[in-house]
Chains A and B, each alone.
Chain A
Amino acid sequence: MHELKPQQKLEISPPNGTLPNDTAQRARELFVQQQQALFVRTDRSFAWLMGLQWLAAIVVALWISPRTWAGQLSETHPHVWSALFLGGAITLYPVGLALTRPGEAITRYTIAAAQMLMGALLIHLSGGRIETHFHVFGSLAFLSFYRDWRVLIPAVVVVVLDHSLRSLYWPYSIFGVLTGSLWRVVEHAGWVIFECVFLTLAITRSVNEMKAVAGHTAELEATNRRIEETARANQNMK
């Protein structure tokens, strides 16, 4: 059974009134258990996903740009090395955390940052294809499976930093203009934040539902206990 930490002492009350203290405590326990199980399950899903993404990055590099050429001479394209080593660096650390420290806050925040970094690598490997940018939005949706709006923060920070630094130092490669444009950064970040607002609303609603379910379960347990006690008392009286 998971011990409640101070920050996890959440308000749980049924819609039609307040729960007795022991039932409210039990509801909090049930909620934290369910939330923790969800964190662990989602960490494991991301461990699989990140492994597959790494494999996909290597396949993409080998498929699109296996070799670089100078006349009739060729050598392995730097994209292949990037996919192998940089992709490996992006993947292995968060996967290691997911396997050794599942359910911990730092694991899911690292996974969130790593998903966005992998998005940046995949966009690089695919030659900036607009379709690859969908990886960012898909990843944000997948991160919302944690039902913890805080995981969206490191993800957004990585996207904004990525765009800001590239706009500052490599504006031509990211926006196709030879001078940096702050407004393009704001525009791109704005769409990411747009999605995050709706994901946060969905997460909040979903967490409230989890709390309600935990409250109902605790109430049900208390009712069952009372019925058992009454039945036992009746049996003793006979």
Chain B
Amino acid sequence: MTQPSDAAASRAAVAPRSAARARWMLVATTLVWLLAVGAGLRSAWNYESAPGRAAATKSQWPAGSRIAPAPDRATLVLLGHPQCPCTRASIGELAQLMARGGDKVTAYVLFVKPSGTPAGWEKTDLWRSAAAIPGVQVRLDEEGREARRFHVSTSGQTLLFDRAGQLRFSGGITSARGHAGDNAGRDAIVSLLETGTATRTKTPVFGCALLSSDADSPDADGK
């Protein structure tokens, strides 16, 4: 039979062991928590960095477009989805771009209004922000006809044509979905406007799909 003093000694020996085990369990739980949060952030950054479908714009200004390229300067066309939150960053980058090279370019922002949307659906804060940029002309692209003519699928796609109507740049002007800040697209366009050359003429584009189904796909020429 165990004496009371033996039991007390045994409890005293077990107590530090169980405290050490509890401490290690806590450290292990914290590491598992860190790994789980790291995996969550990784998934968020993957989404943020996943580009949309790239444009297949022809090298020449599309025939039949309702807008015409400027004869005396470059023409920039940005196609946007009026409700896409990612495009807010593209409009912000466009504002910066126009502040630096607005005197060398005619700029259009075309907001796509898909079929079946109510009147005024396209008049969002994005529309108003784009319209407020000096030198930018905002137009409605009913049912995405212009998007089809330019073979553009993703909101934020920006095209730069020279005065001869030749495509000089095609891509996004943000570095990730809805991400403001330095990016290769904006730098390339500024360089093309200022020097006529750029190290890059294509960049990934980040934004919502302009149209919802394959039937609406811009791969077919707009009518």
Interface residues of A (CB under 8 A from B): 64-74, 77-79, 82, 85-86, 89-90, 93, 101, 106, 110, 113, 117, 120-121, 124, 127-130, 162, 166, 169-170, 172-178
Contact = CB atoms under 8 A, between A and B. Distances in A.
Nearest to B29: A93
B26 A70 contact: no
A71 B114 contact: yes
A67 B86 CA distance: 10
Given A69-B208, A71-B216, A72-B116, 5 more contacts: A64-B85, A70-B209, A82-B44, A121-B41, A170-B48
B44 A78 contact: yes
Interface in B142-198: 144, 155, 175-176, 178-184
Interface of B: 26-27, 29-30, 33-34, 36-37, 40-41, 44-49, 81, 83-86, 88-89, 112, 114-117, 144, 155, 175-176, 178-184, 200, 203-204, 208-213, 216
Given A71-B114, A128-B176, A177 B37 contact: no
Contact of A173 (B49, B200, B203, B209): B49
B176 A173 contact: yes
Contacts of A65: 85-86, 178
B37 A89 contact: yes
Looking at chain A's contact residues, is the secondary structure mostly helix, strand, loop, or mixed? Answer: helix
Contacts of B211: 70-71
A90 B212 contact: no
A121 B33 CA distance: 15
Contacts of B27: 106
Contact of B30 (A77, A85, A90, A110): A110
Contacts, number: 122
Nearest to B182: A176
B40 A86 contact: yes
B209 A172 contact: no
Contacts of A74: 83
A104 to B, nearest CB: 9
Nearest to A104: B26
Given A69-B84, A72-B116, A106 B30 contact: yes
A93 to B, nearest CB: 5
User: Most B CB atoms within 10 A — which of A67, A69, A85, A120?
Assistant: A69
Q: Which 5 A-B pairs have the closest CB atoms?
A: A71-B212, A176-B182, A65-B85, A173-B176, A70-B209
B125 to A, nearest CB: 11
6 contacts: A72-B212, A78-B44, A127-B88, A170-B45, A173-B45, A173-B48
Nearest to B40: A86
Contacts of A178: 184, 200, 203
A166 B222 CA distance: 40
Contacts of A73: 212
B116 A170 contact: no
Nearest to A66: B85
